[in-house]
Amino acid sequence: MNYFPDEVLEHIFDFVTSQRDRNSVSQVCKPWYKIESSSRQKVFVGNCYAISPERVIERFPGLKSITLKGKPHFADFNLVPPDWGGFVYPWIEAFARNNMGLEELKLKRMIISDECLELISRSFANFKSLVLVSCEGFSTDGLAAIASNCSFLRELDLQENDVEDHRGHWLSCFPDTCTSLVSLNFACLKGDVNLAALERLVARSPNLRSLRLNHAVPLDILQKILMRAPHLVDLGVGSYVHDPDSETYNKLVTALQKCKSVRSLSGFLEAAPQCLSAFHLICPNLTSLNLSYAPGIHGTELRKLIRHCRKLQRLWILDCIGDEGLEVVASSCKDLQEIRVFPSDPFVGNAAVTEVGLVALSSGCPKLHSILYFCQQMTNAALITVAKNRPNFTRFRLCILDPTKPDAVTNQPLDEGFGAIVHSCKGLRRLSMSGRLTDRVFLYIGMYAEQLEMISIAFAGDTDEGMQYLLNGCKKLRKLEIRDCPLAMQRF
């Protein structure tokens, strides 16, 4: 391989896209390291403090796209002090100073200021994509800077960020010459937006394929937007409260009839249950449905909607769907691969979702391999049945709202149940457990969970033997999240 000219190697490496594979390639020999590093365009940094921006710039001078993760996962649950860090400014400042041709920036759990957003918008002429997930530290003023200055912006995707809202003028900052938008997601913004500016923006964005609105966009505007963007693939409905007999509703039906490409639906941030039949038109083509921010949708209306979603692959839902609703999912959505059931009342929990729903899903959905399930209770028997039904789980995350609750029927710890899961699901990569658990469950995990890469444990185990079983057994373990477990920490 050393006899190939560099250009040929570079061309071959172009086909190697995954981060891990490129890392492997770079470790083969020095020449490969050099070529791979100089040609790599997409860089992923899982911990923003693991490496300095200068080092990244030095190694990857051709960098165009970077993903940075800041605070650890536990920060999502208030387990990390607020001043922990995760500031992106040093990175942007370094990139700007070194004239990097940055085009894409994706941040998760980081702090980004308005000044930083302004700097991004002015420093990188080809900047195309900004994706912020669970970030904070900025306001709509920063968004205004991005809108105003990034002439070739394709993607502005804000997911679950804490944004200070200075009211809606940022949308008007997109110049009339900006026609390149492909994806716009501002569902997490709390304030009003300039609706006329939004309509005009959609009208001049022929490539728009993904649009997620916030609660301030009412139904009549949604209808107008859909008429202008019938090629949407991903739609996040904002507010959805109206009188079903109105003219607007009929216009909405007409608009939805034209939207034959919608595959992903979310939002319904304010929804009145009786209005959903218009969406039955697009349900048959949906592969992804996220109603986890729509507590207003439940009961018969929800079940009716789901029955129409025969091609669904991904479902995010609230526990007010109930076991009964999950049984409808199990019988209607045979292509389902991933499901997340979130709690609608974080502290009291809804008695409607139990082990019954989980068993139904495992039995009815043959392709289901990824689950996040917040429930009231669980039993070993149910977990054993689930393990038997569905050995193809790769991600299994179970959260019982009372974190140390034992088997609801036998009062035993849930060791046997989780043991069955790890034994049967040979491809399991991610596991989160809850409920009463002793060292025994770690024995099972250590013995059987050979592919396990990430595990989250809370309030589990008795002694450090549990930790020993885990660390000795799971050779592929990369991420360990542990809180409130009575284990002697000196083992670490």
Partner 1 sequence: MVYERDLNLEATELRLGLPGTVTEQSSEKQKPNSNATKSNKRSLPDMNGESEVRRENSSVSSNDKKSHSQETAPPIKTQVVGWPPIRSYRKNSLQAKKLEAEAAGLFVKVSMDGAPYLRKIDLKVYKGYPELLEVLEEMFKFKVGEYSEREGYNGSEHVPTYEDKDGDWMLVGDVPWEMFINSCKRLRIMKESEARGLGCAV
Binding stretches for partner 1 (CB under 8 A): 74, 76-81, 134, 160-162, 188, 292-293, 295, 342-349, 351, 374, 376, 399, 401-411, 432, 436, 438, 456, 458-459, 462-463, 483-484, 486, 489
Q: How far is CA 11 from the centre of its chain?
A: 32
Residue that is written with structure tokens 């500016």 in the block: 197
Give residue 248's identity as a one-letter amino acid code: T
- Residue 210 region, left (φ>0) first, then alpha (ψ -120 to 50), else beta? beta
Q: What's the min distance (Å) between Cβ of 192 and partner 1?
A: 16
Give residue 119's identity as a one-letter amino acid code: L
CA 445 – CA 275 distance, rounded (Å): 47
Q: What's the min distance (Å) between Cβ of 347 and partner 1?
A: 5
Tell which residue, 348, 353, 350, has the closest CA to residue 372.
Answer: 353
CA 84 – CA 137 distance, rounded (Å): 13
Task: Collect all residues with Cβ–Cβ distance below 8 Å to 263 and sequence separation of at least 6.
Answer: 233, 234, 285, 286, 287, 288
When the beta carbons of 22 and 109 are compared against partner 1, the nearer one is 109
Q: For residue 75, what are its two tokens?
A: 């920060």
Q: What's the min distance (Å) between Cβ of 294 and partner 1?
A: 10
Residue that is written with structure tokens 């050099």 in the block: 34
When the beta carbons of 201 and 291 are compared against partner 1, the nearer one is 291
Q: What's the min distance (Å) between Cβ of 214 and partner 1?
A: 11
Q: What's the min distance (Å) between Cβ of 309 and partner 1?
A: 23
When the beta carbons of 68 and 401 are compared against partner 1, the nearer one is 401
Task: Collect all residues with Cβ–Cβ distance below 8 Å to 105 and sequence separation of at least 6.
Answer: 65, 66, 68, 120, 127, 129, 130, 131
When the beta carbons of 19 and 161 are compared against partner 1, the nearer one is 161
When the beta carbons of 222 and 460 are compared against partner 1, the nearer one is 460
Q: What's the min distance (Å) between Cβ of 240 and partner 1?
A: 14
For residue 276, the SS3 value is helix
When the beta carbons of 2 and 78 are compared against partner 1, the nearer one is 78
- The sign one gets for the Cα dihedral 82, 84, 86, 91 is positive
Q: What's the min distance (Å) between Cβ of 81 and partner 1?
A: 7
Q: For residue 366, what are its two tokens?
A: 């043959």
When the beta carbons of 225 and 378 are compared against partner 1, the nearer one is 378
Q: What's the min distance (Å) between Cβ of 161 and partner 1?
A: 7
When the beta carbons of 54 and 402 are compared against partner 1, the nearer one is 402
- The sign one gets for the Cα dihedral 389, 394, 400, 403 is positive
Asked if 40 and 58 touch (Cβ cutoff 8 Å), the reply is no
